[in-house]
Amino acid sequence: MHTGQTLRTARIKTKKLQVPVVGDDNVQLALQSNLSMIQALSVQIAVLEKSILKQIGPVPGFYYLKTASGIGNILAQTILLETGDITRFKGPGNFASYCRCVDSRRESNGKKKGENNRKNGNRYLGWAFIEAANFAIQHSDKAKRFYLKKAKTTNPIVARKTLAHKIARACYWVMQNQEDFNENLVFA
> Is 71:65 a contact under the CB 8 Å cutoff?
yes
Q: Where in the sequence is the domain holding 29, given as residue range(s)?
A: 9-55
Predicted confidence (pLDDT) per residue in 13-49, tens digit? 666 666 667 777 888 888 888 888 888 898 999 898 8
Claim to verify: residue 69 and residue 151 sit in the same structural domain: yes
Claim to verify: residue 20 and residue 76 sit in the same structural domain: no
Claim to verify: residue 165 and residue 146 sit in the same structural domain: yes
Claim to verify: residue 40 and residue 14 sit in the same structural domain: yes
User: What pLDDT, on the 0 to 100 scale, is given for residue 134?
Assistant: 93
User: What pLDDT, on the 0 to 100 scale, is given for residue 16?
Assistant: 66
Predicted confidence (pLDDT) per residue in 87-146, tens digit? 899 989 888 888 888 776 666 676 766 666 566 778 899 999 999 999 999 998 999 999
d(CA 52, CA 41): 16
Q: How many domains are there within the chain?
A: 2
> Is 70:139 a contact under the CB 8 Å cutoff?
yes
* Of residues 149 and 104, more confidently modeled: 149
User: What pLDDT, on the 0 to 100 scale, is given for residue 163?
Assistant: 93
Claim to verify: residue 21 and residue 90 sit in the same structural domain: no
Q: Which of 17-31, 52-66, 155-169 has the lowest mean pLDDT?
A: 17-31
pTM: 0.73
Claim to verify: residue 82 and residue 114 sit in the same structural domain: yes
Claim to verify: residue 130 and residue 80 sit in the same structural domain: yes
d(CA 136, CA 164): 9
* Of residues 70 and 4, more confidently modeled: 70
- Last residue within a domain, chosen from 40, 55, 70: 55
Q: Is 4 part of any domain?
A: no
